[in-house]
Amino acid sequence: MLAMNYRGPYRVRADYKPDPVIEHPGDAIIRVTRSCICGSDLHLYHGLVPDTRVGTTFGHEFIGIVEEVGSAVQKLKVGDHVLVPFNIFCGSCYFCDRELYGNCHNTNPEATAVGAIYGYSHTAGGYDGGQAEYVRVPMADIGPTVIPHDLHEDDAVLLTDALPTGYQAAEMGDIREGDTVVVFGAGPVGIFAAKSAWLMGAGRVIVVDHIEYRLEFVKRYAQCEVINFKEVDDMALHIKKMTDWLGADVCIDAVGCEAAGNAMQTLTGRYMMMQAGSATVLHWAINSVRKGGNVSIVGVYGPTFNAVPIGNALNKGLTLRMNQASVKRHLPRLIEHIQAGRINPREIITHRVPLEEVSDAYHIFSGKLDNCIKTILIPPGARH
């Protein structure tokens, strides 16, 4: 089959590799109809995630048609069109019992600090991802959700990660009516976090980035205020001035380890790898939120350590909440929101690229060229 093939930092290509097979009686094989490139795929693409092996296939946002099921699969049927949450989870371990599906204990032997994720290095379990024609989907009766007939395929693929992650970011911010919410990052997750903040009753939503076309988009799409941090001397001071000198009630990090905006963080975090990426947004979030406020983190960081002003978080009495999204628990409510017209996820899609052109697709997304916000890869058999 044709699949994305990682060759080293900044180098990927479409290549032929053997089709996946059933490896456990609970598995299914899915024929992919759409997959996305996620902002967090760029951390892999840039070589920042430990144990990212050459020859692996990325892709944790995909939908497709069930091609084959293992002997233990009871509910999922061949021919079902399913969306597959990015988490691989068993549904029955200590953590799944508590609905922490992003923290499953039974699917990733290589690390306890990370759940299992499709196509996200061996640190996340060593599974191949969905930027391919076919993909092995473990726990087929647990993870995949059959796509309702009235749900557009492009909305469905955004329900596998980007929308639930943005929504959970707002949820973890514990937003109360009238709160001022600052979202760092105007990528897909930040855009959806801003939308979700309104759903939860925010009084004011402010999105921070430095990419002008993305700020223009989010201002219109999420009806929010925007700040271009390149035009601001000091982020915390700027937010204080905007909020009667108190700070924001909630700050959301939707950027993670490749944040721009601070030369020292960029140098030590991204180029010298002396910390697990640049902690610029963590710094801004802790220093811009009000005393007693909430910082919610969904931006991805590496497993080593980061330089963050934890003393300020202590002295300000902050609540810091963070996690990989437990996608499955969000799906029923988010599907309702889409069906009710409260959110139109697919409007953020800017690029549709044949899987064969995956090298260019990654470069465009990584370089933020051609006003790219969200890229969908379409395998050869799924073009219609």
Partner 1 sequence: MEHEHHHHRPMPDRSTIQGWGADLDRANRPAVPMERMPQRLDVPEGELGQQPRDIEVFVSPERPGITPLFGTSAPPRGLSGLLRRIAYKGTENDIRHWLMLLLADRVDMVEGIGEDLARGKVPNVLAEMGIKAEWEHNKAGLVRKAAIGAAVAGVAWYLLKRRRSH
Q: Restricting to residues 28-57, name those near partner 1 by CB under 8 A.
A: 47, 50-57
| Interacting residue with partner 1 among 19, 67, 110, 153 (CB under 8 A) | 110
87 contacts 160 by C-beta, under 8 angstroms? no
CB of 7 to partner 1, least distance (A): 5
| Interacting residue with partner 1 among 233, 311, 367, 384 (CB under 8 A) | 367
For position 26 contacting partner 1 by CB under 8 A, the verdict is yes
CB of 320 to partner 1, least distance (A): 13
Of 126-134, 259-267, 277-285, 292-300, the window that binds partner 1 (rule: CB under 8 A) is 126-134
Closest C-alpha among 366, 376, 372 to residue 48 = 366
| Interacting residue with partner 1 among 150, 177, 231, 233 (CB under 8 A) | 177
For position 125 contacting partner 1 by CB under 8 A, the verdict is yes
Q: Which of residues 298-327 bind partner 1 (CB under 8 A)?
A: 302-305, 321, 323, 325-326
> What is the token pair recorded at 80?
């079902």
For position 66 contacting partner 1 by CB under 8 A, the verdict is no
Q: Which of residues 244-283 bind partner 1 (CB under 8 A)?
A: 244-246, 273
CB of 361 to partner 1, least distance (A): 8
CB nearer partner 1, residue 151 or residue 353: 353
For position 354 contacting partner 1 by CB under 8 A, the verdict is no
For position 328 contacting partner 1 by CB under 8 A, the verdict is yes
Rounded CA-CA distance 384/381 in Å is 9
Closest C-alpha among 103, 60, 46 to residue 259 = 46
364 contacts 370 by C-beta, under 8 angstroms? yes
The residues facing 136 across adjacent strands are 29
CB of 251 to partner 1, least distance (A): 15
CB of 12 to partner 1, least distance (A): 6
CB of 280 to partner 1, least distance (A): 21
7 contacts 14 by C-beta, under 8 angstroms? no
Burial 343-365 (b: 16+ CB within 10 A, else e): bebebbbbbebbbeebbebbebb
Of 116-124, 147-155, 232-240, 251-259, the window that binds partner 1 (rule: CB under 8 A) is 116-124
| Interacting residue with partner 1 among 35, 165, 180, 294 (CB under 8 A) | 180
CB of 183 to partner 1, least distance (A): 15
CB of 9 to partner 1, least distance (A): 7
**What is the contact mask toward partner 1 in residues 128 to 167, using x (rule: CB under 8 A)?**
x---------xx-xx-------------------------
